[in-house]
Amino acid sequence: MLGRIERVIEVERKSYRAVARLSGRAIEFALLLLFAASFATGIPARAQTGPDAQTPATPTTAPPAATEPSPMQNEAAPTIKVQANEVNLIFTVTDKKGHFITGLNQSSFGLLDDGRPPVAVLHFTQQTNLPLRVGVVLDTSSSIRQRFQFEQDAAVEFLLQILHRNDRAFVEGFDIQTDVAQDFTNNLDLLSQGIHKLRPGGGTAMYDALYKTCRDQMLTLRETGAVRKALILVSDGDDNYSRVLESEAIKECQRAETIVYAISTDVSPTKGKGDDVLREIAEATGGQAFYPTTIEGVANGFLGIEEELRSQYSLEYRPADFKQDGSFRTIYLQANDPRYKVRARKGYFAPKAAE
């Protein structure tokens, strides 16, 4: 059996196009063979130590223990140092009903990076406690004027619940321009003040806002270790003023390795295409879109995001045939158990070598 698996790997390494031509069940079967073989033939997994260390456990939906928020803490979090040729992948696992599944171990998943199994799995962490870098991005265009105060209050409550000692967040509003009302901080009072300083009015340039935010806020982060970067986008998804395209905004989010969670504010019976746009952006970056049926349901969207951010896995690996050429590399991650669905970003941009 192992000989057959090794031959599959060799064929796949010689020609990724052969795997790409497979479809449906064939792709899934090849993926599971490839990744199972990777573990069977001894791809090393570096031992995890410290507060994030976990031992394999029976799948469970119980959320990890939370710690109390503490404003303006400067203590360094236990972090994983990530080199240029190493990928840190944050992902979520749910069952068919959308319930979060935690407690799985490394061998529960299959992974292809640009069509190949990784050379080495360096870290695998369950219910990761990696520090959060979160941006709350609120649509402040005139179309949401009547429901804006409720959105502000829900955003403040979200930050109150989600921010822990080593997390940081920023607050931004957008119409035809972006307004960073409060830059990265752990101070909840400053974040609340920033949210309540925002005022609605003007057109909607959502793609421009996403592009600029990932470029200026997320790509410029200088961290000594791995963090989880996420944007919480609250909007109806209707863009009428942007100069960049939706695809360009998505690419910039992927380049910044930032997950986008979207909460739709369109609660009208007749839905426009804005909801589809929010879904496309979220799925491409490994996030999720929420569609409340009432404006009060926006708060439930924030609660769903909060639960997900505390129920994630972290997988750090070294990809095969890695080149620092700035190219886009696809990620295909799947749970071996067909009852479970994995939500992860679709890929990433390799860094360019220093000239």
d(CA 236, CA 266): 5
- Judgement on whether residues 179 and 36 belong to the same structural domain of the protein: no
- Judgement on whether residues 254 and 143 belong to the same structural domain of the protein: yes
**One-character DSSP codes across 78-116:** P-----TT-EEEEEEEE-TT--B-B---GGGEEEEETTB
Higher pLDDT, 325 or 145: 325
- Judgement on whether residues 292 and 193 belong to the same structural domain of the protein: yes
- Judgement on whether residues 345 and 303 belong to the same structural domain of the protein: no
- What total of structural domains would you count in the chain? 2
pLDDT 10s digits, 100-144: 999 999 999 999 999 999 999 999 998 778 999 999 999 999 888
DSSP β-ladder status, 132-139 and 228-235 = parallel
pLDDT 10s digits, 279-291: 999 999 999 999 9
d(CA 65, CA 60): 14
- Judgement on whether residues 160 and 301 belong to the same structural domain of the protein: yes
What tokens were used for 247? 């695809």
- Judgement on whether residues 27 and 140 belong to the same structural domain of the protein: no
- In a domain, residue 1? The reply is no
pLDDT 10s digits, 67-108: 333 333 333 444 444 567 899 999 999 999 999 999 999 999
- In a domain, residue 217? The reply is yes
CATH of the domain at 267: 3.40.50.410
Domain that holds residue 57: 10-74+89-125+322-349
- In a domain, residue 215? The reply is yes
pLDDT 10s digits, 215-235: 999 999 988 888 999 999 999
CA distances from 249 to 1, 140, 214, 252, 280 (A): 45, 19, 9, 5, 11
- Judgement on whether residues 22 and 142 belong to the same structural domain of the protein: no
- Judgement on whether residues 208 and 287 belong to the same structural domain of the protein: yes
- In a domain, residue 82? The reply is no
- In a domain, residue 36? The reply is yes
- In a domain, residue 118? The reply is yes
Question: Nearest-CA neighbor of 315 among 10, 62, 43, 29?
Answer: 43
- In a domain, residue 246? The reply is yes
Band of pLDDT at residue 145, cut at 50, 70 and 90 = confident
- In a domain, residue 152? The reply is yes
- Judgement on whether residues 173 and 285 belong to the same structural domain of the protein: yes
> By percentage, how much of the chain surpasses pLDDT 90?
67
- Judgement on whether residues 296 and 335 belong to the same structural domain of the protein: no
Q: At which residue do the structure tokens 């990620």 appear?
A: 331
- Judgement on whether residues 147 and 50 belong to the same structural domain of the protein: no
CA atoms within 13 A on the CB side of 48: 23
Band of pLDDT at residue 354, cut at 50, 70 and 90 = confident
- Judgement on whether residues 160 and 247 belong to the same structural domain of the protein: yes
d(CA 135, CA 231): 5
